Amino acid sequence: MTRRPNPADQSAWAASTWDGSLRDQVRRWSRLTFDEILEWQEEAAKRAQGGGRRRTARTAARGPKRS
């Protein structure tokens, strides 16, 4: 008896390559409405700006790097 491959397993393997990951990302984005995409991009921009400031503040609080 031959075992049929599980489609979910094939999808996981296909997404593990650069091309497969890109296809999966495009597929996910294509399911979003324009408002959802805009909301996501605004949130990502806020996190990117806020994350950089926090990292800098923590680094400055620790002082210079010791060897």
Higher pLDDT, 5 or 28: 28
Residue 1 has pLDDT above 90, yes or no: no
37 Cβ partners below 8 Å, 6+ apart? 29
Total-model pTM: 0.46
Digit-coded pLDDT (tens) for 13-39 = 777 888 888 998 899 999 999 999 999
Residue 54 has pLDDT above 80, yes or no: no
At 8 the pLDDT is: 62
Residues 4, 53: Cα–Cα separation, whole Å: 51
In angstroms, what CA-CA distances link 2 with 5, 10? 9, 17
At 51 the pLDDT is: 63
